[in-house]
Chain A
Amino acid sequence: MSRISQYLTDEHHHCDDLFAQTEEAASRGGWAEAKDGFGRFRRSTEAHFEMEEKVLFPAFENATGISLGPTQVMRMEHRQMREVFSQMAAAAQRQDADEYLGLSETLLMLMQQHNLKEEQILYPMADQALAGQRETLIGSMQALASGA
């Protein structure tokens, strides 16, 4: 089963794993591990955002003619998450546990409600609207991931 929704949902779960490990390391003061983990989490998430912004969203907008709808809101939330990433990186640099954990709590909520809207609304719509191109699209997303 190679549906777009399955592929991207698995990615969300992979990012969740990295997020949880990093947060746990920071909470017990393991900053070397936390910084390293945060770097990996951030790169994976950025790669995922890119797949959506460069491949999925344009294809969705082309196929449906809707460009000011859901994809617009998803892009805006990507921007919000990127801003929190920068603040988290700075907090990890300063080894400021309170700040880091407060931001990570915030990011978790933002990220999860975002993923939920994608997984339950946008991806299923994309699976329908882009049924004919799913192999090509997943191919392009994988290429983007391995090229990055």
Chain B
Amino acid sequence: MIPAGLSFEQAPPISVPFRFFLTAPWFLLAAGLLLVFSGPEMMLSRHMPATLAATHLLTLGFTSMVMCGALMQMLPVVAGSPVPFPRAVAWGVHVPLTLGAAGVAAAFLADSGPLMHGAAGLAGAAFAVFIAAAAWGLARVTSHSPSAPAMGLATAALLATAALGLALGIARYGGFALPYGQLASLHPLWGLYGWTTLLVIGVAYQVVPMFQLTPNYPPLLTRWLAGTLFLLLVLRTAAEFLPLPDWLPGLGLAAGAAVFAVTTLKLQARRKRKIGDTTLLFWRIGMGLLLAACALWPAILLLPEEAGEKARLLLGVIALPGFILAVINGMLYKIVPFLAWFHLQSRYAGQVTIPNMKQFQPDKPARFQLGLYLAALALLAIAVFHPPLARAAGLLWAANALALGWNLVRAAHLYRRTAHVALEKKSD
């Protein structure tokens, strides 16, 4: 069967993904500055208002921001089916997500019900548009890609995350009878594990072999892992309300993520492309951190209450600013220069000299930013146990965000300048 309308009309306009990628670093900067200003109190617990604000600057403003943009870009290649009306969808996701991310963070800080309701509504609307568009594309998958099913499950998990977040945002101030504590423990699980980690897994199936010429992931893994993990998330959710042991699916989730991390590291060790690069380093660091998170997560259950709270905060640091940020950061250094090159090449080949990928993203500044990132992460982890260091960690995070933002803006600027030269030549 040849699906009607299959055109490979792959790339959406470059402005579609770039607006997401170029917005994200400024939310990372905001999170760093928040840490500078709020300081040690943020290290008291995950539930401090400033900590929750920083968490959502990262999850809504950085990770979900980049992931939405990247998925709109990748669906046509991976699934053979583009997102419909890409420009309109990009607007409909990007604007409310930007406002919603800033608003949710502000609402936590100001402890404001009306602000939280409005901002949660905006973020919810952004995700509704995104989920509808992604589902439309995914329902028309024409490819045999191992990524497509995992991407579908990640999108479903985003729906759960957003619904739970919305319910929490309303219940936090509305005072109606929701089982707040239970929903509050499920929401981060669906957000960090479901939406984010499942998407990382789905994307990895495609990009790990592609970037470094490694063997493919074993078919057994690509066929079963994402679905099994999703099922475990459902079981873990049920255990919150039914008399089921919650540690059992929890252990399965930790083991599953560890299998993914170990497989990825092994494949990378067997890569044909021997020369390394910043993206590979970011991914190896990310996989190492994922393994650390998988080990720490079950261990927390054995700790006494007080030590447990510190360990939970550390787990959060290892998972979000650690694993997730590292992997996304590494991806950006491939996607952004490639898209800049690809769009220029498709339109202006032969008219101007088009810079190659390494001219869009030279190695040195990328590696410099990786160094800043590692220093910021290390200091943040130490600050969990020694809170007076929190402000210094915040400064490093802000510097890291500026370095990343600078690198991306520089690439976008070179894109614009090259396109401009081509257009000038044409009109002469």
B385 within 8 A of A: no
- State whether B213 touches A109 (Cβ < 8 A): no
Residue from the list A64, A73, A101 in contact with B10, Cβ < 8 A:
A73
Residue from the list B80, B346, B359 in contact with A80, Cβ < 8 A:
B346
- State whether A102 touches B2 (Cβ < 8 A): no
Residue from the list A66, A70, A106, A125 in contact with B357, Cβ < 8 A:
A106
B6 within 8 A of A: yes
Residue from the list B10, B211, B334, B359 in contact with A102, Cβ < 8 A:
B359
Q: Which of A15-23, A35-43, A48-56, A131-139 contacts B (4 or more CB under 8 A)?
A: A15-23
**Assuming A66-B2, A70-B7, is B274 touching A121 (CB within 8 A)?**
no
Question: Which residues B1-41 have CB closer than 8 A to chain A?
Answer: 1-2, 6-10
Q: Which of B137-145, B248-256, B397-405 contacts A (4 or more CB under 8 A)?
A: B137-145
**Prevailing SS type, chain A contact patch:** helix
A59 within 8 A of B: no
Residue from the list A19, A68, A108, A120 in contact with B145, Cβ < 8 A:
A120
User: What residues of chain B lie closer than 8 Å to A17, measured between beta carbons?
Assistant: 272
- State whether A69 touches B8 (Cβ < 8 A): yes
- State whether A113 touches B144 (Cβ < 8 A): no
Which chain A residue has the least Cβ–Cβ distance from B148?
Answer: A120
Chain B interface residue bracket vs A: 20 to 34
Question: Which residues B251-304 have CB closer than 8 A to chain A?
Answer: 272-275, 277
A13 vs B4: C-alpha distance when bound (angstroms): 30
User: What residues of chain B lie closer than 8 Å to A124, measured between beta carbons?
Assistant: 144
- State whether A73 touches B8 (Cβ < 8 A): yes
From residue A134, how far is it (CB to closest CB) to chain B in Å?
17
- State whether A105 touches B356 (Cβ < 8 A): yes
Question: Which residues B164-201 have CB closer than 8 A to chain A?
Answer: none
Which chain A residue has the least Cβ–Cβ distance from B338?
Answer: A109
- State whether B7 touches A80 (Cβ < 8 A): no
User: What residues of chain A lie closer than 8 Å to B272, measured between beta carbons?
Assistant: 16-17, 20
From residue A2, how far is it (CB to closest CB) to chain B in Å?
19
User: What residues of chain B lie closer than 8 Å to A128, measured between beta carbons?
Assistant: 1
From residue A87, how far is it (CB to closest CB) to chain B in Å?
8
Interface string of A98-114 (1 = CB under 8 A from B): 11011101101110110
Query: Which of B7, B8, B206 has most chain A Cβ within 10 Å?
Result: B8
Residue from the list A16, A23, A76 in contact with B275, Cβ < 8 A:
A23
A27 vs B345: C-alpha distance when bound (angstroms): 25
Residue from the list A23, A102, A120 in contact with B358, Cβ < 8 A:
A102
User: What residues of chain B lie closer than 8 Å to A64, measured between beta carbons?
Assistant: 2
- State whether A80 touches B274 (Cβ < 8 A): no
User: What residues of chain A lie closer than 8 Å to B423, measured between beta carbons?
Assistant: none
From residue A80, how far is it (CB to closest CB) to chain B in Å?
6
B341 within 8 A of A: yes
Number of A-B contacts (CB under 8 A): 95
- State whether A24 touches B143 (Cβ < 8 A): no
**Prevailing SS type, chain B contact patch:** loop
A116 within 8 A of B: yes
- State whether A27 touches B80 (Cβ < 8 A): no
A97 vs B346: C-alpha distance when bound (angstroms): 25
**Assuming A20-B272, A24-B275, A121-B144, is B357 touching A113 (CB within 8 A)?**
no
- State whether A106 touches B356 (Cβ < 8 A): yes
- State whether B77 touches A117 (Cβ < 8 A): yes
Question: Which residues A75-109 have CB closer than 8 A to chain B?
Answer: 76, 80, 83, 98-99, 101-103, 105-106, 108-109
Residue from the list B1, B213, B341, B345 in contact with A16, Cβ < 8 A:
B213
A16 vs B272: C-alpha distance when bound (angstroms): 8
User: What residues of chain B lie closer than 8 Å to A19, measured between beta carbons?
Assistant: 213, 273
A16 vs B1: C-alpha distance when bound (angstroms): 30
From residue A39, how far is it (CB to closest CB) to chain B in Å?
19
**Assuming A73-B8, A106-B338, A117-B77, is B273 touching A125 (CB within 8 A)?**
no
A129 within 8 A of B: yes
Which chain B residue has the least Cβ–Cβ distance from A100?
Answer: B356
A73 vs B346: C-alpha distance when bound (angstroms): 11
User: What residues of chain A lie closer than 8 Å to B406, measured between beta carbons?
Assistant: none
User: What residues of chain A lie closer than 8 Å to B346, measured between beta carbons?
Assistant: 76, 80
- State whether B334 touches A109 (Cβ < 8 A): yes
From residue B87, how far is it (CB to closest CB) to chain A in Å?
20
**Assuming A106-B357, A120-B80, is B8 touching A113 (CB within 8 A)?**
no
- State whether A116 touches B206 (Cβ < 8 A): yes
- State whether B8 touches A20 (Cβ < 8 A): no
- State whether A80 touches B345 (Cβ < 8 A): yes
- State whether B349 touches A121 (Cβ < 8 A): no
Given A19-B273, A69-B6, 19 further pairs, Cβ under 8 A: A24-B273, A24-B274, A24-B275, A27-B275, A69-B8, A70-B6, A80-B346, A99-B356, A105-B277, A105-B357, A105-B358, A106-B341, A108-B213, A109-B334, A109-B338, A112-B210, A117-B80, A120-B145, A121-B6
A–B Cβ pairs within 8 angstroms, 15 of them? A16-B213, A19-B213, A20-B274, A23-B275, A69-B6, A69-B7, A73-B7, A73-B10, A101-B358, A102-B358, A109-B357, A113-B77, A116-B77, A117-B10, A121-B143
